[in-house]
Chains A and B, each alone.
Chain A
Amino acid sequence: MRFALDDGQTAFGRSLDGMFAAADTPSAVRAWARGEHGPGRALWRRAADAGVFTLAAPGGLGGVGPLPVEVGVAFVEFGRHCVPGPLVETVAVMALLSRLAEAGEAAPAKEWVPKVCAGRARVTLAAPARAEHGPRAGRAAAPAGGPYAPAADAVDAVFVATAGAEDAEPGRGPVLRSIGPARPYALDADAADAVFVVTSSDGEAADGDAADGLWLAPGHGPVLPSVDPARRLAVPAAGGERLAAGPAVREAAAHARLWAAYATAAQALGVGHALLDRTVAHARRRVQFGTVIGSFQAVKHRLADALIGLEFARPLLYGAAVALAAGSPGARAEVAAAKAAACDAAYAAARTALQVHGAIGYTSAYELSLWLGKARALRQAWGSPEDCRRDALELPH
């Protein structure tokens, strides 16, 4: 047993940390939020040059992976430095297309994966939550939300995986469906070269659009701002080119969701550490009552709790990586546990960060805001806390 990063993995994380620290990611996020994708694309290019995207793709398609541990290491740094763009969705698209290729549908993978690995194409993905996790599975009153394709306006392709006629036509579904959008959002579709959409046949009716299918969306609706300024949501346009159909899409989409949830967990862990580090630094220099506030027990204890949450989420993340690497059937539960714990820990760190910073932390001008909103958005992305807990019940014990 060696349940620790090796020297190469540690060095890889450090090099990404150093690279992004020197790259003024906060300015890139602010530009991204205005729809100016130049600085964000430059970061994207650097990540691609560092080989990050090749880690998620298999060798035959221009990648060196899939290497879940290394992907996790990279996404912790993406989160720590608030790197904008549909990074999680990119990994998910590669998981989806690679799995489809294994099932004999190789054309989409051959077209897109090498380009994405090389940083020459930016893609995003919209896919519905797993059917049994939809509102009809008993999650009363939970607004479905999404799936949005994050950053659909910034990518080259939005892949859409849809689920069921009800997702496509909210008027026919239960009333609760009207809380969420009719179709999954795509993240950063306005920055993408391709917006991939997955549809599924879980609904009662099965018109062409609702059957299991992978689509290349012909465009997207208006870009909607997120609580995280680095996330821009848009509903992919219906129709477009159908790249694949049938049960293989469903299976590949499930695989893609697993990877998306895993990468989101890693990103959340990095977000939490960034929030904690900044807050500790603030507590060490902010003086009130004649002394630094970090010497007060009430402040210390909140910060200690934030660290405990993050320190015990990390092993779950890498436990999930080991399960993913092994292709273990238990991977779903391990990923779910990691996502629940990492997102809880990141959000707890965000609340502590805001409280310890006081009013300055509540301002958009202060950099902390870039991480605060992300901690909230990631909780719901690619598996809600409730969905994750349900899946985690299958953990070994």
Chain B
Amino acid sequence: MDLDLTPEETAFRAEARAWLAEHVPATPLAPPETARGFAEHRAWERTLYEGRWSAVSWPCAYGGRGASPVESLVFEEEYHAAGAPVRISQNGIALLAPTLLAHGTEEQRARILPPMARGETVWAQAWSEPEAGSDLAALRSVAVRADGGWLLSGNKTWSSRAVFADRAFGLFRSHPGADRPHRGLTYALFPLDAPGVTVRPVGRLDGKPVFAEIFLDEVFVPDEDVVGEPGQGWRVAMSTAGSERGTALRAPGRFTAAAGRLVELWRSAADPGDTALRDRVADAVIRARAYRLYAYGQVSRPGPPPEAEASLTKVFWSELDLALHETALDLLGADGELVDADWAQGWLFALAGPVYAGTNEIQRDVIAERLLGLPKGRRG
């Protein structure tokens, strides 16, 4: 048992670190919730692409680097340690792309992935609906068969970055007569500027338009923009959900870097005699380390990890993220309530963690039923 990197992996880390040191903007970009900030972040995605760092785990043919799972974790460690910008392309690169690689056609991969890697097409997720949150299979938006494609209608909501994004991937009820709610769904891709689409920004707690409602009125989607078989969308979507909950979207490097900054804050700001705060800082450090080592363990095993393991990681990282930021705000004292400060913004972001990507209550159900073998029961 070891944690050693191969010479190739060590060289990969050094190359990533050197590139980031040279290219990460010295001054922070404008917030991505503004038109200017979004444009700046899109330009950063292009810079990443030109260095071939925008989608390291993808095959080279689509603009990736064919990085191994270990290298992908290493890249995220370096990326976050370098304090590099938020990735506005992350929902495409980390969620849609693995879905296309698993369920898409070669034509779809070749057409969709390269512009995604270049930051030309930024993707948003369009799953939740006003009446379908945790119970995603209760969704009501429909896909109606049309000549050469489908007409999408309905109301999607809580779609991150949809205010400025270009396209979205969503789930639609295409076969209303199916015997179970999660059957008869279709996974479809649509442009956010198509005729019939209305995007209405939604303010987060601090008012920033980080997400949006999407209204669709007979939006035409050609057959080539359906992922997987029509009617099989649930199975395709669950593959996306596994990416969303696991290490791909919220890599350990994000939390080890944040824990490192927390320790620095503690050393500079805390009363060393305050052992209650010290213990909370230590807990953040310990849990970030645990997540990192857990991920190393996952990539050391052959094959992909069981889907239900993503539920373990999702509960773990979302609670870690929140506790870590809460500790930082407590350390900051009176300054902790200044909403535009980095730690407060991070806390606002972390607050959503236990809710999105399937609430932690749903994840605990999955853990209990699939990993512990407890019987299914009615929720609640």
Tell me which residues from 329 to 371 in chain B have a Cβ below 8 Å from any Cβ of chain A.
Answer: 361, 363-365, 367-369, 371
Task: Add 9 more A-B contacts to A303-B368, A312-B316, A397-B259 (CB < 8 A).
Answer: A1-B300, A294-B375, A300-B368, A303-B372, A307-B367, A312-B312, A392-B289, A393-B281, A395-B286
Which one of A192-200, A234-242, A318-326 is at the B interface? A318-326
Partner-contacting stretch, out of A2-10, A101-109, A167-175: A2-10
Q: Which partner residue on chain A sits nearest B68 by CB separation?
A: A1
Please give the distance in Å from A225's CB to the nearest CB on chain B.
30
Residues of A within 8 A of B259 (CB): 397
Which of B2-10, B97-105, B222-230 lies at the binding interface?
B2-10
A380 CB, min distance to chain B CBs, angstroms: 15
A315 touching B260, Cβ below 8 Å? no
Most central of B285, B367, B372, B373 by chain A CB within 10 Å: B372
Q: List 24 A-B contacts (CB under 8 A).
A: A1-B299, A1-B300, A2-B300, A3-B300, A138-B275, A139-B275, A291-B377, A294-B368, A294-B374, A295-B376, A297-B361, A297-B379, A300-B368, A300-B377, A304-B365, A318-B1, A341-B286, A386-B275, A389-B279, A390-B278, A393-B281, A396-B289, A397-B260, A397-B285
Of all A-B residue pairs in the complex, the 5 with the closest CB atoms, nearest first, are A295-B377, A315-B293, A300-B368, A389-B282, A304-B364
Chain A residues lying within 8 Å of B293, measured Cβ to Cβ, are 3, 315-316, 318-319
User: Which A292-349 residues sit within 8 Å CB-CB of chain B?
Assistant: 292, 294-297, 299-301, 303-305, 307-308, 311-316, 318-319, 321-322, 337, 340-341
B285 CB contacts on chain A under 8 angstroms: 337, 392-393, 395, 397
- The CA-CA distance from A340 to B294 in the complex, in Å, is 16
Q: Does B215 contact A (CB under 8 A)?
A: no
Residues of chain B with a CB closer than 8 A to A291's CB: 377
Number of A interface residues in the complex (CB < 8 A):
50
Distance from B322 Cβ to chain A, minimum over Cβ atoms (Å): 15
**Known contacts A386-B279, A390-B282, A392-B282; A315/B374 CB under 8 A:** no
Cα of A16 to Cα of B261 in the assembled complex, Å: 43
Q: Does residue B301 face the partner (Cβ distance < 8 Å to A)?
A: yes
Are B315 and A2 in contact (CB-based, < 8 A)?
no
Q: Bound complex: CA of A24 vs CA of B208, how far in Å?
A: 62
Which residues of chain B come closer than 8 Å to A14, judged between CB atoms?
none
- B278 in contact with A393 (CB, 8 Å): yes
With beta carbons under 8 angstroms apart, the residue of A294, A304, A337 that contacts B286 is A337
- CB distance A3 to B297 under 8 Å? yes
- Measured between alpha carbons, how far is A315 from B299 in the docked complex, in Å? 13
B174 to chain A, nearest CB (A): 31
Q: How far is the CA of A297 from the CA of B368 in the complex (A)?
A: 9
Please give, as numbers and ranges, the residues of chain A lying within 8 Å of B288 by CB-CB distance. 397
Give A388 Cβ to nearest chain B Cβ, in Å.
Answer: 8
Q: Is B291 an interface residue (CB 8 A)?
A: yes
Give 1 or 0 for each of B269-288: 1 = CB within 8 Å of chain A CB.
00001010011011101111
Out of B4, B263, B297, B368, name the residue touching A315 (CB < 8 Å): B297
Main SS at interface, chain B: helix
Q: Is A280 an interface residue (CB 8 A)?
A: yes
A316–B291 alpha-carbon span in the complex (Å) = 9
Range, interface on chain B: 35 or more
Instruction: Give the residue name and chain of the A residue nearest to B296 (CB).
Output: A3
Tell me the bound Cα distance from A312 to B316 in angstroms. 8
Is A69 in the interface zone, CB < 8 Å from B?
yes
Cβ of B372 and Cβ of A4 under 8 Å apart? no
Check B380 for interface membership: any CB of A closer than 8 A: yes
Which chain A residue has the least Cβ–Cβ distance from B264?
A397
Kindly state whether residue B70 has any CB partner on chain A within 8 Å.
Answer: yes
Contact A283:B374 (CB < 8 A) given known A3-B297, A4-B1, A300-B364: yes
- Determine whether the beta carbon of B294 is less than 8 Å from that of A1: no
A135 CB, nearest partner CB in chain B, Å: 13
Beta-carbon contacts under 8 Å, A355-397 to B: 385-386, 389-390, 392-393, 395-397
Instruction: Pick the most buried of A2, A5, A139, A283: most chain B CB atoms within 10 A of its CB.
Output: A2
Q: Is the CB of A297 within 8 A of B365?
A: yes
Report whether B3 and A395 are in contact in the complex, using a CB–CB cutoff of 8 Å.
Answer: no
Which of B278, B279, B290, B372 is the one whose CB lies under 8 Å from A307? B372
Which residues of chain A come closer than 8 Å to B375, judged between CB atoms?
A: 284, 292, 294-295
Q: Are B290 and A341 in contact (CB under 8 A)?
A: yes
| Residues of A close to B377: CB separation below 8 A | 291, 295-297, 300
A319 touches B372 (CB 8 A): no
Residues of B within 8 A of A392 (CB): 282, 285-286, 289
Quick one: closest B residue to A142, CB to CB?
Answer: B275
C-alpha gap A132/B296 in the complex (Å): 33
Could you say which residues of chain A place their CB within 8 Å of the CB of B312?
307-308, 311-312
List of B residues within 8 angstroms of A337 by Cβ: 285-286, 289-290
Nearest A residue to B284 via CB reads A397
State whether A322 touches B2 (Cβ < 8 A): yes
Q: Are A4 and B300 in contact (CB under 8 A)?
A: yes
- The CA of A283 and the CA of B372, in the complex, are separated in Å by 11
Question: Would A389 and B2 be within 8 Å (CB), given that A304-B372, A307-B372 are in contact?
Answer: no
Task: Give the residues in chain A near B300, CB-CB below 8 Å.
Answer: 1-4
Report the bound CA distance from A395 to B259 in whole Å. Answer: 10
B248 is an interface residue with CB less than 8 A from chain A: no
Complex Cα distance, B289 from A386, in Å, reads 18
A316 proximity list for chain B (CB < 8 A): 286, 289-290, 293
CB pair A319–B278 under 8 Å, yes or no, is: no
Q: Is B67 on the interface with A (CB-CB < 8 A)?
A: no
